Amino acid sequence: MDVLAITKRARMSPTKARDLAREIQGKPVAEALRITTISERKAAFQLGKTLKSAIANAESNADLAVDDLRVKEAVIDEGPRMKRYWPRARGMVRHIVKKTCHIKIVLTDDK
């Protein structure tokens, strides 16, 4: 059975989070949690929160044992971009794009 957790509009660039998501994909839940707690990156903190949410969903909603769970999918999609401006010389402006991402983690108890 598959269990899902989604974090929307996480305030980080999706390209910086995708390599860590690929690293935890296919691993047991305990090992994926260890990877996210050891890493010092901002993406690891957000992925860890979403992973813990998925584990809680599996325990409370689906009555699954945590020891049998694996990370089936860890997907980082682009979210909406916040557009800001920075004043420059001679009345010009520099565009700043602050990126967000959606984190989706799917856990499964299948082998």
Of 79, 64, 74, 63, which Cα lies nearest the Cα of 32? 74
What's the mean pLDDT when you consider all of the chain? Answer: 95
Q: What is the mean pLDDT of residues 7-14?
A: 96
* Domain at 44, CATH number: 3.90.470.10
What is the pLDDT confidence band of residue 110, given thresholds at 50, 70 and 90?
confident
Q: How many domains does the chain have?
A: 1
Q: Residues 51-97: pLDDT tens digits?
A: 999 999 999 999 999 999 999 999 999 999 999 999 999 999 999 99
- Provide the whole-model pTM: 0.90
Boundaries of domain holding 51: 2-108
* Beta strand 70-78 pairing with 101-108: antiparallel
Which pLDDT score is estimated for 6?
98
